[in-house]
Copies of this chain bind each other. A is one copy, B any other.
Amino acid sequence: MNIGILGLGTVGGGVVNVLSKNRASIFARTGEEINIVQAAVKSLDEEIICPTADFDLTENALAVVNNAEVEVVLELIGGTTFAKDLVETAIKNGKHVITANKALIATHGNQLLALAKSHKVHLLFEAAVAGGIPILKALEQGLSANKIEWIAGIINGTGNFILSEMRDKGRDFADVLAEAQDLGYAEADPTFDVEGTDAAHKLAILASMAFGSELAFSSVSTEGISKISGEDVAFATEMGYFIKHLGVTKKIGEAVEMRVCPTLIPKTQLLANVDGVMNAVMIKGNAVGPTLYYGAGAGSEATASAVIADLVDIIKGTLSPDTFGWQALEPISKQNPDEVQSVFYLALLVADKPGVLAEITKTLAKYNISIEQVLQKPAGNNANISIITNRVKMGILQAAIGQIEAQNFNQESVKIIFVEMLN
């Protein structure tokens, strides 16, 4: 099988290295040699992490996708402009495409997948979600007997590293972020990681695989972790929860809810104990119950592992021509945010004077919102109050919070954070 590679950075270089070191065992599976014909890099002067002597190296990425010898193109450049052109050209040239590019699939996947289908080639992207964890194959094949009820995933390692450090070492967000940047986990512009865009790309892909719906990245509500304070982390822990930056998607009737936001989950849940840069995705099927998949969400050879698994599937001819394993994809029907039901964690900073807690709890009661736990601690002349509610609709909660915020004892606006029990 002749392949062409676009990009020899962390992932592309990893692919070349893994194909080399595991050549014998991969051959024992496929019965066919994998031959790298050509690879494109941005500049021939850049440092490359893999040997390049055995294939043609070029700065002309178009040469690779137009190379008549190349049967499968690995798009490992990233971005949604030039990468899109290259993928389209490769498909139109009748080549299979494997990509690790979550942004490209989440934003242009419907069109690209339709193009691939019409040209009878595969467009595969196991590496785009949760790196080396074979989560898309699990959804497409392993859980195919199930109606998926929900998915909850830690799908951005940088955000998880920051929250783990904040909890374990009582450190501040900004401080840990700076360290993550030094360690190379976070980009110089960290918004992509910590504001949830990266996780939202992956969540959109997971939701489509799970529910057989078209990709709908713009329907994902996204909230970052920069609003999480050390107090939130400490209070949540004391109340029995860890805070994770979670991607959550649920099917409620015909509607699909998709959100990436800080979320409290019970400490006793396995997912709560996934720390540092590791990723994990929990999937609830209506037959199998809860399942969880854990591993490295990024990194050179971990991501390469997923890219090459797709390649092996192509060589072995074990792929369905169906998109995501479904005969046809339905348009997604977005859940009305006001109708979203959940348990919530509320964090208030209030003046420390008599009657404040009474006023808050009275207002919640008026809206029929039950309280599961309350924790109050002094904060200088003020008080931190954290409340965990019972299940309530977001629209009703926001009305109640609006009325609480209209009172003059609030020192800042009330923070609302989702709580997922994961059962």
- List residues of A whose CB falls within 8 A of some B CB: 14, 18, 21-22, 25-26, 28-31, 126, 132-134, 137-138, 141-147, 212, 270, 273-274, 280, 285-296, 299, 301-302, 304-309, 311-313, 316-320, 322, 325-328
Q: Are A132 and B22 in contact (CB under 8 A)?
A: no
Whole-angstrom distance from the CB of A43 to the nearest CB of chain B? 27
Whole-angstrom distance from the CB of A412 to the nearest CB of chain B? 36
Given contacts A25-B212, A26-B144, A143-B305, 15 further A-B contacts (CB under 8 A): A21-B287, A22-B147, A28-B327, A133-B288, A146-B305, A270-B273, A270-B274, A287-B302, A287-B308, A288-B296, A289-B296, A289-B302, A291-B294, A292-B293, A316-B320
A137 CB contact (under 8 Å) in B142, B274, B294: B142
> Closest chain B residue to A279 by CB distance?
B291
Q: Which B residues are CB-close (under 8 A) to A291?
A: 132-134, 293-296
- What is the bound-complex CA distance between A111 and B309, given in angstroms? 29
A–B complex contacts, Cβ < 8 Å, 13 sampled? A21-B287, A25-B146, A28-B327, A29-B212, A29-B325, A133-B291, A137-B138, A144-B312, A145-B306, A288-B296, A288-B301, A316-B322, A318-B320
Whole-angstrom distance from the CB of A324 to the nearest CB of chain B? 9
Q: Which B residues are CB-close (under 8 A) to A307?
A: 145
A28 CB contact (under 8 Å) in B29, B142, B326: B326
> Closest chain B residue to A304 by CB distance?
B287
Q: Are B147 and A25 in contact (CB under 8 A)?
A: yes
Q: Are A145 and B304 in contact (CB under 8 A)?
A: yes
- What is the bound-complex CA distance between A251 and B326, given in angstroms? 38
A143 in contact with B309 given A292-B292, A293-B293 (CB within 8 Å) = yes
Whole-angstrom distance from the CB of A124 to the nearest CB of chain B? 12
- What is the bound-complex CA distance between A301 and B18, given in angstroms? 38
> Closest chain B residue to A273 by CB distance?
B273
A301 in contact with B326 given A143-B134, A309-B141 (CB within 8 Å) = no
Q: Which B residues are CB-close (under 8 A) to A328?
A: 28
- What is the bound-complex CA distance between A18 and B285, given in angstroms? 11
Q: Are B142 and A309 in contact (CB under 8 A)?
A: yes
Q: Are A126 and B142 in contact (CB under 8 A)?
A: yes
- What is the bound-complex CA distance between A26 and B270, given in angstroms? 29
Q: Which B residues are CB-close (under 8 A) to A285?
A: 132, 305
- What is the bound-complex CA distance between A259 and B112, given in angstroms? 48
> Closest chain B residue to A319 by CB distance?
B318
- What is the bound-complex CA distance between A322 and B126, given in angstroms? 22
Q: Which B residues are CB-close (under 8 A) to A295?
A: 288-292
Q: Are A308 and B144 in contact (CB under 8 A)?
A: yes
A287 in contact with B28 given A144-B308, A145-B22, A145-B304 (CB within 8 Å) = no
Q: Which B residues are CB-close (under 8 A) to A293?
A: 291-294
Q: Which B residues are CB-close (under 8 A) to A29?
A: 144, 212, 322, 325-327
